[in-house]
């Protein structure tokens, strides 16, 4: 009985982390065979030199399928990053600031030969060579249909939705999984840039499991910036960071809101207030 229970739990555990990808059916194309599958241990075999970066974004599994038609090649890579925030994170880092984002899946961008998009816990890369030779073929149209099979109703992670849209620099919202601002004790954060009265500032939000974790970050930041704080309390803090300049923080509950790159604190407190009202 214990053995059966163990096998059941093992099967359930493995299933919880992976999802079979149903790749598009392309009757006019010749499949190169069964999709290749890569995990944490062998991802480097597919993206040598970049695997550690993907692993930092919660990578779980990669499935790759390829097709060909009259010398034209098509490849679809589906990266499973475990949850929507990590999937959005890796996508946001690789997205060009100049990309023309389209509502494919959650969002995506591309051209006639490359189309990348994020939806749910998946980051998808589609690419091909000489695709223009195939009459009526469109990577974007294929991506639109394929995305529906991966996640029916994709939504932005809640922390992303906290960021005000007004004055936000296009394609600047990114998730950083570790060592935000180059500081190990900061951990993960979401950041975005804003144009405020001719000044571009970096605005960021950290979410932690509880307020004690936030308190520890503030205490460590104070020590790092050589600022004297006996015991942090919820509210605003102003630090002189030796590498990031003046940094303003606001502690509310299990959230830490912050900004850097500004010359006048009044320019960022409005953003702080907008986010704080949503918490």
- pLDDT per residue, tens digit, the chain (279 aa), is 444 443 334 434 443 446 779 999 998 899 998 999 999 999 999 998 899 999 999 999 999 999 999 899 999 999 999 999 999 999 999 999 999 999 999 999 999 999 999 999 999 999 998 898 898 899 999 999 999 999 999 999 999 999 999 999 999 999 999 999 999 999 999 999 999 988 999 999 999 999 999 999 999 999 999 998 888 899 999 999 988 899 999 999 999 999 999 988 888 999 999 999 999
Helix H or strand E segment including 118 = strand 114-119
For β-strands 72-80 and 30-31, DSSP reports them as: unpaired
The phi-psi region of residue 42 (left if phi > 0; otherwise alpha if psi is between -120 and 50; otherwise beta) is: alpha
Query: Which SS3 state, helix, strand or coil, does residue 10 take?
Result: helix
Record the pTM. 0.89
SS3 81: coil
Does 158-278 carry CATH code 3.30.200?
yes
In 170-190, which positions are buried (b, 16+ CB within 10 angstroms) versus exposed (e)? ebbbbbbbeebbeeeebbbbb
Domain boundaries, the chain: 19-150, 158-278
DSSP conformation class of 59: -
CA quadruple 217, 221, 227, 228: dihedral, nearest 10: 20
């Amino acid at each position: 009985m214990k053995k059966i229970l163990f096998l059941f739990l093992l099967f359930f555990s493995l299933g919880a982390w992976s999802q079979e990808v149903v790749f598009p059916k392309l009757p006019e194309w010749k499949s190169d065979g069964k999709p290749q599958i890569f995990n944490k241990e062998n991802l480097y075999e597919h993206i040598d030199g970049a695997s550690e970066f993907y692993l930092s974004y919660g990578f779980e599994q990669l499935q790759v399928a390829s097709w060909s038609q009259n010398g034209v090649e098509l490849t679809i890579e589906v990266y499973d990053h475990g949850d929507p925030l990590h999937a959005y994170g890796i996508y946001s880092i690789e997205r060009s600031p100049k990309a023309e984002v389209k509502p494919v899946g959650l969002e995506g961008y591309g051209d006639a030969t490359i189309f990348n998009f994020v939806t749910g816990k998946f980051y998808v890369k589609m690419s091909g060579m000489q695709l223009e030779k195939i009459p009526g073929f469109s990577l974007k149209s294929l991506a639109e249909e394929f995305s529906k099979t991966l996640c029916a109703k994709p939504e932005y992670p809640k922390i992303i939705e906290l960021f005000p849209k007004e004055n936000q620099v296009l394609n600047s919202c990114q998730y950083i999984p570790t060592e935000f601002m180059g500081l190990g004790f900061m951990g993960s954060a979401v950041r975005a840039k804003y144009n405020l009265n001719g000044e571009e500032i970096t605005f960021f939000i950290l979410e932690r499991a509880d307020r004690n974790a936030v308190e520890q970050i503030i205490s460590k930041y104070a020590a790092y910036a050589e600022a004297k704080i006996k015991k942090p309390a919820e509210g605003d803090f102003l630090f002189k960071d030796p590498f990031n300049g003046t940094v303003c923080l606001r502690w509310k509950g299990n959230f830490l809101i912050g900004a850097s790159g500004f010359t006048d604190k009044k320019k960022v407190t409005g953003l702080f207030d907008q986010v704080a009202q949503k918490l």
